[in-house]
């Protein structure tokens, strides 16, 4: 098998710039609040009814409001980059269930394990990142090439 | 002050997801499609993120307090569990099916994407499914 690069859609400049911004956001949360920017863990905490109005839910809610409003504010600065979602609605539901359940069972997602965990040289996060990437490669192969 | 910084951290993180192209599921699937036309952009997103966060974690590793002189909250678990691996495998399969992970899906929802909304709703159900039913059923402490 030979690896071919999709030069048309490879955007090294914006990918690196956006990545640096992710690092900046995660570092700000760490330096000033002492917290890990792991989106799945933060979200799962605030949606628990027993955590409503708790002190620990407040900073998480603020971070999430900032995150979500990025999508709302961006169009006022520049045109949103095009997004193409190939998945059908049933596939989106299945994917959401797996992402929600799996990120909780695995204690993290692409942000908590992939960016923060690797940055702090956590072995657990390395194992998690290798696992979800491997599952991603296999699933993509099965959906795109094995039919 | 701290609240403003927390909000801004989320905002910058979200804007970074848009700029990096990670809110476009086609870019995620393009990265995961190593047998097709491979799009390596996600590698550079991770390199960019880690290259800054690495130094932030290094700086904090020796300190026990934040810049506001408050205690750090870092995960202390080091045990490689079955749940860590199985959960991450399930997560990776879902990630590849839609091309969304939690952060980008929330940002896309904020931009008004109905499909991101469907994904996020199902994701919340999946989270509840784990935290409320699975952990109780199998008596797993979190």
Assembly ipTM: 0.96
| pLDDT confidence of residue A52 | 82
Q: Determine, for residues B126 and A98 on separate chains, whether the beta-carbon distance falls below 8 Å.
A: yes
The verdict on residue B50 lying in a domain is: yes
**C-alpha distances out from residue B130 to A61, A93, A135, B70, B117, Å:** 21, 16, 19, 31, 20
The angle formed by the CA atoms of residues B105, B7 and A55, to the nearest 5 degrees, is 100
Q: Could you tell me which of B110, B47, B5 has the C-alpha nearest to residue A35? A: B5
In chain B, how many domains are there? 1
Q: Determine, for residues A135 and B121 on separate chains, whether the beta-carbon distance falls below 8 Å.
A: no
Q: Give the count of Cβ contacts less than 8 A between chain A and B.
A: 497
| pLDDT confidence of residue B75 | 85
Residue of chain A with shortest Cα separation from B17: A18
| pLDDT confidence of residue B140 | 60
Residue B61 DSSP label: H
| pLDDT confidence of residue B73 | 86
Q: Determine, for residues B97 and A91 on separate chains, whether the beta-carbon distance falls below 8 Å.
A: yes
Interface test with B, best of A17, A130, A135, A145 (most B CBs within 10 A): A135
pTM confidence score: 0.95
Percentage of chain A beyond pLDDT 90 is 89
The verdict on residue B7 lying in a domain is: yes
pLDDT beneath 70: ranges in chain B: 139-142
Domain that holds residue B62: 2-137
Q: What is the pLDDT of residues A73-113, one digit of tens each?
A: 999 999 999 899 999 999 999 999 999 999 999 999 999 99
The verdict on residue B142 lying in a domain is: no
The verdict on residue B97 lying in a domain is: yes
| pLDDT confidence of residue A108 | 96
| pLDDT confidence of residue B141 | 54
- By the CB < 8 Å criterion, does B117 face chain A? no
- By the CB < 8 Å criterion, does B138 face chain A? no
Residue of chain B with shortest Cα separation from A77: B15
pLDDT tens by residue, chain A, 147 residues? 678 999 999 999 999 999 999 999 999 999 999 999 999 999 999 999 888 888 889 999 999 999 999 999 999 999 999 899 999 999 999 999 999 999 999 999 999 999 999 999 999 999 999 999 999 999 999 999 986
Q: Could you tell me which of B33, B44, B42, B50 has the C-alpha nearest to residue B104? A: B42
- The distance of A87 to chain B (nearest Cα, Å) reads 6
The verdict on residue B131 lying in a domain is: yes
């Amino acid at each position: 098998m030979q690896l071919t690069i999709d030069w048309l859609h490879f955007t090294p400049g914006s990918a690196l710039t956006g990545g640096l911004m992710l690092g900046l956001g995660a570092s700000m949360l760490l330096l000033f609040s002492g917290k890990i920017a792991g989106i799945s863990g933060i979200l799962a905490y605030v949606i628990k009814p027993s955590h409503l109005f708790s002190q620990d839910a407040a900073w998480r809610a603020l971070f999430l409001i900032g995150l979500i409003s990025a999508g709302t504010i961006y169009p006022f600065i520049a045109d949103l980059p095009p997004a193409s979602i190939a998945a059908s609605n049933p596939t989106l539901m299945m994917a959401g269930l797996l992402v929600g359940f799996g990120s909780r069972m695995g204690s993290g997602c692409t942000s908590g394990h992939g960016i923060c965990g690797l940055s702090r040289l956590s072995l657990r996060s390395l194992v998690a990142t290798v696992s979800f990437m491997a599952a991603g490669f296999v699933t993509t192969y099965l959906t795109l090439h094995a039919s | 002050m701290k609240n403003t910084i927390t909000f801004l951290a989320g905002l910058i993180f979200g804007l970074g997801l848009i700029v990096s192209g990670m809110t476009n599921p086609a870019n995620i699937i393009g990265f995961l499609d190593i047998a097709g036309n491979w799009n390596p952009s996600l590698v550079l997103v991770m390199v960019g993120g880690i290259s800054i966060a690495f130094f932030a974690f290094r700086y904090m590793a020796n300190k026990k307090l934040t810049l506001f002189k408050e205690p750090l909250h870092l995960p202390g678990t080091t045990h490689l569990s079955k749940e860590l691996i199985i959960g991450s495998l399930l997560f990776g399969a879902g990630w590849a099916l839609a091309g969304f992970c939690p952060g980008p899906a929330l940002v896309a929802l904020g931009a008004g994407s109905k499909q991101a909304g469907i994904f996020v709703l199902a994701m919340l159900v999946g989270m509840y499914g784990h935290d409320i039913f699975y952990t109780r059923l199998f008596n797993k402490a979190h």
